Structure formats: structure tokens, C-alpha cells
Structure 1
Amino acid sequence: MDEVLVVVGPGVVADAALVGEVAEREFAALGVAGSVVHARDAARVASLLRPGAVVLPGPAGEVRELIGRPLGPVVWVDVERADGVEPGEEATHLHGRGVAGLTWGIRHAVHRLRHPARRRIPYGPHRDQWGDLYLPPDPATPDPAPSNPVPSHPGGALPPVVALIHGGYWRSIWAADLMEALCADLTGRGLAVWNLEYRRPDLHGWDATAEDVAAGLAALAGCGAPLDLGRLALAGHSAGAQLALRAAADGTPAALVLSLAGVLDLVEGDRRWASAGAVAAALGGPHAARPGRYAAASPLLRLPLGVPQLVVQGSADDLDLVDFGRRYAGAALRAGDEVTYLEMPGDHFDVITPGTPIWRAAAETLTSLL
């Protein structure tokens, strides 16, 4: 059984009992053995670091200095926002998600323990310009070692590819780890997966985000892995759906685009102050000040795309997202696009949670269309 150790550094501002409750709930949900240790100083923290360790470092300088050391696949979780932290080789730094960030840290640690064969491929010099490539396992051979440059895949036909683009309302506190559960689910269905990271506009500007998504998708052609790029699906969650649809509209070749709880009408998203003004913050101003940028970025304004689309929306999600999804699907059909609209019970994260009815329906539709 996989084992996860949560290490709480000195000075972490969070209720100790609550941290334990969050950890125990996630251990049970993931079926792993786990424990929580409160470390009194940096030496104790360092002595506990190992693969599968999730560390809330706290403010102490001696502990934070450990984050940048090459100490292996440790997951560092700051409950507050901490931009610019450079984790050591193989390590991950998650931040700004509050105490709930521990949930995502544990999930990421377990994913890395269970799926070490992913291949990280940079497509630019910045630390956020990369994608993780997963290929479906070959049942005839054992899983490759993490150092294998290309994961194994079934013999015969090349696998179709799903490029995943995470959301988070274009804010840097959210990252590609959001989509890791789907990476495992989709590879189990015989698909290759490209989980894309990119620079977010809150730190780098809107143009950098658009450029990174285009460059990251183009990098697939030169990654050297055996892929059927003629059967490439672009799949985005929330704000990532906007990025996926915009990429297709800009000419990225795709057999299908999948929107999962997408932010598909940026003009109304701005007018309705979606996620406390996230649209205007990402695009550098409101629609009235940036009409050209909104015209290029809003999926609703780019119709028709000329690419088959699957629009998936949970009925228990934010009602504005339900509205965006329904109106977008209707407009796309009227524009002549081939669109499948799937609305089922589920919230904003059910659409990216394997095992939920809405994700199972979406995944089955996706694989049938590919």
C-alpha cells in the first residue's frame, strides 16, 4: 500500500486538528496509509523527507531553505500565496489554496507514487513551460522505470491523444496537478495524455498565456513519442476550456475539443464579475476597455470553430457557467458546428473527478468520438 507522510513545520498558521482531519479524510479517499507529524524545527523536517512526503513548511527561514534543495519528489504546500518559490529538482510547490491545499498536495503525492512513468517535457525556458506526457500502459510489459525517456504503450496502432489544459480562473495558485486524476483515468482507457502547464496572466500577462498554450500544444509534434496526432482532442476545465477552444479557433489541429465546466462567454463573465473579477484581471481590463482582446479570446465570439465539440456541464455548478454552456452550445449549433451538449448532476469539480457519473459519461463520449 502507498504511504504518505504529512509533515507540519514550525509556525504553520492552521488549526492542528483541522489539518489532521483533512489529511485523514484524503488518506481514506485515496486508499493509502498515512500519518501526520508536527516537526519542531528544520532538522526534524529534513529527517522526515522522503518520496510521498507532503510538507507544510511554515514561515521559518531554516525550513523554507529546504524547499530549494534537491531532496527528491517532496510536495511542499504553502497554505498562503507564495509566488516565485523555486522547489528543488523533482519537488513540487503548491500554494495559495488555503488549508484545502493539503488535499491537493496529498493527491499529487499519491499520483506521483502510483504513476512515476510520466515524462516531463519543457517547451520553453520558464519553470511553468512544460507538459507531462503519459502513454497507456502495455499489458505485456512491466511499467517502465521513471528514467525511461518514453513511457510504454500498447503495441499496434498509435494511441489517440488528449491534451489537458487546467483551469483556476487563470490564476497562478492553480496548476496542472488539478488534472492528474484524469491523466490516470484516460490512460486506463487507452489514450495518451499531455497535461499542459503554462504561464498564467496574473504574473505574466495575457499574451504569455495564449502564446504558451499554442507553443505547448505544438510541442507534441516534436516530443519523439509514438502518438496519433490525427486524433488529438483538446480538453480544458473551467478557464482551461476557454484556452482549449481559443487554441482550436486559432488553428491548432484537433479532431475534437472538450469543454468541462467551461468559461465560454468572456463578455458576460466580465459583466457578471465571475470569480470576483477574474476575467478582467486575466485579460488586462474590462470588455469596454479591451474589446479586441475579448473578441479574440471569448469562445462564444469565435464561432464557428469548424471542429467537433463536446460541452460538458454540471447542473449543480455556478449558474452562470450553466448559462454560458447552454448558450454557447446553442450558438455553436446555429453557427454550423458539430456540438454535443452533456449536462448532468454534478458540481464544478465533479466534471474532473474519475468515478462521478458526469465524468464517466464525458469520458465514454470522448473515447467514442476519438
Structure 2
Amino acid sequence: MSGLEVLVLTGPGLAADQGLLAEITAAECERLGVPGRLARADAMWEELQHAGREERAIVALPGPEPGTRALMTRPGPHAARTVWYDIAVTGPAETAAGSVHQAGRGIWGLAWAIRHAVHRLRHPATRIAYGALPEQWAELRLPADHDGPPLPVAVLIHGGYWRSIWCADLMDAMAIDLAARGYAAWNLEYRRPDRHGWAATVSDVAAGVAAVKGAAGEHGLDPDRVAVLGHSAGGQLALRAAADHPGIALAVSLAGVVDLAEGELRRVGTGAVPAALGGTRAELPHVYTASDPRARLPLGVPQLIVQGRQDDLDLIDFNRRYAEAARQAGDDVVHLERPGDHFAVIDPGAQIWHETVAAMDARLRPGTSG
């Protein structure tokens, strides 16, 4: 994939400034180290057919025109190279086998679509279903040419304030980096509560974590060295999974929402906590008690609590007080607070991420440099 290029296509009638889209395309391609360009595509099918025969990662913004949107389900060589992206929320959309649909992340979401289009071609993953529903899967990435002893496993649980517009692609770069460092990266997708309810989210995460054991023999995974890493809202899910699931070796919260009761009162994420859980703590006390990492202490599992200093001040406060409460409750806790914003903790280029992996290595791969 050394000659990989990025082509961003915009369909007719798209309500977005082309100059701004071009700026985002150029900046993201430079960051990824790939050439790329943005083009209007009134004849998008012809562009897709041409690009599908070349070494290109395609991001297609179809716009509202029905004829263009119908191309999303058309098969062809382009499909495995294409991420379809809708700036506005559209809900799930059917696509041809091999392609991906993302929606609702606004203009900034184009950057994520470009990243995913590149990552999935540069570093393909093996998709493993842990259930029969469309969102019940994990993507497994392994070290190149691995043929040694069973690997420690990093289960990745994405955030996004439990909302369906954010998906497992948020953790692509982390998964690739962890695999290069000697881990088996198990990037977990799950049903989010805004469409499926809180119980579905909880059961999916539990099933997705448990599925590691079933895949261990075939893929060379060590079920006794499993770390669960969650970012933002995924931090809450990771800590709960560790509390619920016996055998987790390490729970890692990356800028996690680790205090749901206080998060509800402070309306973090514009009311994300009661929206996800289905109501307030006063209305659903048992749901909050079962779900809130702070309420579950002691977890009885070693924990690594990671937080960037330039993040939301409420998250900084939650994580500091959570780490202290966990220690007081008798848990084995490392609290790592370093410079960085909300996404630095999942950025392989950030110093806080390098320190996070070093702390993981100390637990799961002693004697390695991280």
C-alpha cells in the first residue's frame, strides 16, 4: 500500500463549503502521509469505477440526490475501498458489501472518514462476529508474522457519549499501534443505547469481551492476559466490564466518564448520562448502581486511569477523585495525568499514549520496553 492515495468525492447538492472540505482533506492526508485530493463528482459512478481500479482509498459524500445515494448499494471493485460519509445524521444506511457508512459527525467527521478509509486498507483487520446482529462484532489485528507464544489481548471499547454516530473506527489507530507493539488488538463494536437501549449496550460489551476466550485458540491469544481499554464513555464500559467479568488482568480508562451520578448532575456531554441510561439516578437507582464505576468500588481489578490535562475539567475532576476513592477502597490503581486533550489519550503519536502503553507493558508484558 506504499502508493496509496486518497480521493474524496462530493455529490451534487451537498450542503457544505467545498473550500473547507478541501482544507480538511489536505490537512488529514498530510497527517497520514498520503497524497489526496477532493473533487466534485456530478458523475460519481464513473469516478467510483475509475478509482476502484487504482490504489485509492475513497471517501464519498453522496449528498441528498436520490440517484447518487442509490450508488451506495452498487457493488464493484470500488466497494472495498469506499467509506460513505453523510455530514448530517441519517441513521443506518445500506451499502454494498465491503464498503462502510458513517454519518452525523459534522464537517469534522470527514477527517475521521479519511482516517478510517486509509487505516482499513493499510492495516486490514479480521472481523469476528460475537452475535448475529449487525453491530455485534470485533476487529482483530495481530502483530505481523506472529508465530510465537499466545499474545496479550487489548480489548478496545470506543466512546462517543454512548451515541451511535461514533463507532469502533475511533480506535483504529490505537489498534494498529498496539498490534505493532506485540498485542492482539480486539476492537469492539456494540449496540448503542440511543437506538437499542442501555441493556443492549451492557450485554453486547459483556459478550464481546467474553468472545476473546472463544477466539483464543484459533488466533493465538492469551486469555489470562486480557486488558480492557475504554475511551471516554467507553472508559465507563471498560471499568464495568472489568467489575462484571472474571479474569480481566487490567482495566484501562482513557479520559473515562468514571462517575455517572455526578455526570448526570453536571450534564456532561449535554445530558449524555441520563439519555444513555434511560433516566436519572432518582428514577433508575439500580441501573446507576450497577453501571457507575464509582459506585462499584472496589472493582477488585488492577486499574490504569489515564487523563489529559487539557480535557474537559469535569472529566479531570472525576478521574482524580475516582482514582483516590479506588485507592481508599483497596484497589490497585495507577493514575496517569499528563498534558493532552480528550483525544491525545488515543493518539499513538502523543506522549501520554506512550506512557499508557509502558504502564500496560509493566502489567502484561514485564521486561519489554513498551
Tell whether the structures are fold-level matches, with TM greater than 0.5.
yes
Out of 170, 175, 188, the position equivalent to 1:183 is: 175
Q: Does 1:96 align with 2:90?
A: no
**What is the CA-CA distance between 1:369 and the residue it aligns to?**
1.4
What is aligned with 1:148? none
- Aligned equivalents of 1:199, 1:45: Cα separation in 2: 34
Q: Which sections of structure 1, spanning at least 5 residues, go unmatched?
A: 139-152
Q: Does 1:109 align with 2:101?
A: no
Structure 1 residues 139-288: aligned runs within 5 Å: 153=146, 155-223=147-215, 224-288=218-282
What is aligned with 2:368? none
Partner of 1:199, secondary structure, is coil
What is aligned with 1:62? 67
Percent identical among aligned pairs is 54
What is aligned with 1:354? 348
Q: Does 1:135 align with 2:142?
A: yes
- Aligned equivalents of 2:84, 2:165: Cα separation in 1: 13
Partner of 2:219, secondary structure, is coil
| 1:23 alignment partner AA | T
Summarize deviations over 1:30-86 as a string: whole Å, max 9, x none.
100111110114434543452511101111111111212333231001000111212
- Aligned equivalents of 2:90, 2:346: Cα separation in 1: 26
Summarize deviations over 1:147-181 as a string: whole Å, max 9, x none.
xxxxxx2x332110000000000000000000000
Q: How many residues align?
A: 354
| 1:312 alignment partner AA | V
- Aligned equivalents of 2:49, 2:4: Cα separation in 1: 20
Out of 54, 62, 77, the position equivalent to 2:85 is: 77
Partner of 1:52, secondary structure, is strand
What is aligned with 2:296? 302
What is aligned with 2:367? none
Summarize deviations over 1:202-245 as a string: whole Å, max 9, x none.
00000000000011111112223110110000000000010011
- Aligned equivalents of 1:125, 1:251: Cα separation in 2: 22
Summarize deviations over 1:107-135 as a string: whole Å, max 9, x none.
0011012112x110111121111000111
| Residues 149 and 220 in structure 2, CA contact (< 8 A), matched pair in contact too | no
What is aligned with 1:146? none
| Residues 206 and 245 in structure 2, CA contact (< 8 A), matched pair in contact too | no
- Aligned equivalents of 1:166, 1:262: Cα separation in 2: 10
**What is the CA-CA distance between 1:360 and the residue it aligns to?**
1.0
Q: Which sections of structure 2, spanning at least 5 residues, go unmatched?
A: 365-370
| Residues 80 and 96 in structure 1, CA contact (< 8 A), matched pair in contact too | yes
- Aligned equivalents of 2:45, 2:149: Cα separation in 1: 52
| 2:326 alignment partner AA | A
Q: Does 1:315 align with 2:309?
A: yes
- Aligned equivalents of 2:13, 2:266: Cα separation in 1: 39
- Aligned equivalents of 1:202, 1:253: Cα separation in 2: 30
| Residues 252 and 304 in structure 2, CA contact (< 8 A), matched pair in contact too | yes
- Aligned equivalents of 1:292, 1:195: Cα separation in 2: 29
**What is the CA-CA distance between 1:252 and the residue it aligns to?**
4.1
- Aligned equivalents of 1:102, 1:364: Cα separation in 2: 32
TM-score by length of structure 1 reads: 0.93
CA RMSD, aligned part only? 1.1
TM-score by length of structure 2 reads: 0.93
Partner of 1:98, secondary structure, is coil
| Residues 49 and 74 in structure 1, CA contact (< 8 A), matched pair in contact too | no
| 2:11 alignment partner AA | G
**What is the CA-CA distance between 1:253 and the residue it aligns to?**
2.0
**What is the CA-CA distance between 1:255 and the residue it aligns to?**
0.5
| 2:339 alignment partner AA | P
